[in-house]
Structure 1
Amino acid sequence: MKKDTLVLKAVQYIKEDYYDFAIKDLLLEDGANPDETDMLLEEGKKIVYQEQILAISKKRKIIFGAVVSLLLLTFYYFLFVLPDSVESPSVTYSLLGTVLICFLGYLCIAYYKSWDLEFVRKHEEININYSFLVIMLVPGTILYFIISAVFENTAESILKKNQIEVVGTVISGGENEIHTRRGTIKLAKIVVEFETREGEKIIADKDVSSYEFKNFYYKQEVNLIYSKTNPHNIAILTTSQALKEFKNSQERDITYHDLENLIDVKEDKLKAELDKIVYGWEYESSVKAWVNNRKNIGVAVHDNSIVYIAPNGTVAHYLLEKEGYVALNKNDSSFVAKVYGIGQYKKGNLIATIEMISTKNGEPPMAMTTLRKLKI
């Protein structure tokens, strides 16, 4: 037999796990000379070894590709799929996602370029030392806050889109203190009960600041919104920040410039326009006016005129003058008129009349301002 054929025979016997002495005997039976069996066996071992190196290299490439794919899928799942499904801030899922991503990231580092043939020859087995996972603590901490923020922002985004407003009742709550080297961190939470539009009773909790927590009490009724896709995803509408975020309200004082613009607004659109400025208007049929009990103000629109009542009696005259209104009577600009009397002002085709309304308990007077548009 030719040498190449005998070498291939040696490779076959090696792969079939024959002992060296048995392979030599088989090679002799195949026609090899006694003095060349050692050489044929060594040649065969080199070929088998090279094939093993190539197989290990290929296997490591596959493992690396699989780990990278799993890492990317895990990233995508925990950043784009799961937050939409859970629709709630979640410490558990944020921790789980962080652990999985850090573990897979560490495996990617361990297997990166491990398929290089020279590396395989030196390291036929990859020794993964899991104690080195501690190097992932810093990036893991950052990653946790990123995932946690995604869960929270996604829940808020869905809540904005699917919000339904109801009135709930505070049934419990509490504060916890976490002591750190830098000081004490106070965490507060309230629990509310409400009924969905479908009549289902829901008990949900919401994290609040310790400053906000002081303003809540047992059995307090609060305005809140919940998501129609997850009723436990809620927001309490008791702060200006929440109203700005979820109701697109500017949460500011009504100006006389606002009143000028509201004169021509139709009645069915007035609430929406008022809510854009400051949220919480309800129509009181007994006084035929829109009232905001949260701010203690009221607005009524009639033909070519608007009436505005607010607790700004001491500054109403000054605010009008600031907007460019001029007193029709010089006495109207006096200190006495501004505090106690009735004043009339004019700007273009607008006439403004201010009347003071006395209040109880020595509080500053209310101002009833009427803007009337003159026909030109």
Structure 2
Amino acid sequence: MPSETFNAMVLRQDDQKNTLCAVEPLGFGDLPNEDTLVKIDYSTLNFKDALAVTGKGKIVRQWPLVPGVDFAGTVVDTTHPRLAAGQRVVLTGWSVGEAWWGGYSQFQSVRGDWLVPLPEGLTTRNAMMVGTAGFTAMLCVDALEAAGVSPSSGVVLVTGAAGGVGSVAVAILSRLGYTVAALTGSDDPARHAYVVGLGASSVVDGEQWKTAARPLEGQKWAAAIDTVGSGVLARVLAEMNYGGIVAACGLAGGADLPTSVMPFILRGVRLLGVDSVMAPIEKRIRAWERLTRDLPLDVLETITQKTVRLDEVKSAAEAMLAGKLTGRVLVDVN
């Protein structure tokens, strides 16, 4: 091993069940007993990570825990038949950073079944610029296309368009020739300029998004990718064209859905749930290969607005939950 100890962010609970967060030195004997050891280069900050690190959401399922739901790095040692030492890999999902130790560490021991070999042309830094958010966005685009949506179908709405998933979704859809409308949830001109720079044809923020939708509203969208949930998703459903399709992947605005059956039985709207946590390996490999083709690498630099160290993750998490961050946050664990 390169050294006897390495740094990791560790979450612990005190007697009052408050979350304690600190960067600590760990030894290799502290790591889980799994089949593959990875030297991590980068992780990211996702909404779920922010909830875990700040203790503001019921995310952590074991204590102590090294958080971080994704990472990219190089295999140091493995007994997994599909992997080899020196191979560059990426991990997203599988409840890592929740039930299993995750990416906010310079080394991690994980199950080889969870790792995807990095496609040619993608560095570990690029991979984490994409991260769980970008991987989820690609799955959403895949779901829409599998359901028959194409650039000729009409306008595709992306909610939470200035966030991690939304940013990548806007960029991919634009690259593929779709007309994209962006909902950022903000009247900040800088955010509007940001999503237009990613390829959005219009920004649709308005007061109506802060009010409850009627069961059916005017038809506006051929398809949508929703990262927000709650009242925003209810309005999206109410505004879908006849036969419209919505890929839902997030709950930044809440887990409830205050809607009715009207969009489904009177307009034939379809709501597709998109899960990135337990997606099978074949779907993961296909999505990462598509990302190397359909997401321009120069766009990643635009999407990645901030890079932080391990000891800066908590303050970035607080800023994310306060709605003060745009795009992706890269975590350089070294």
Which of structures 1 and 2 has the larger relative contact order (alpha carbons within 8 angstroms, sep 6+)?
A: 2
TM-score by length of 2: 0.23
> Which of the pair is proportionally richer in helix?
1
User: What TM-score, normalized by structure 1, do the two folds share?
Assistant: 0.21
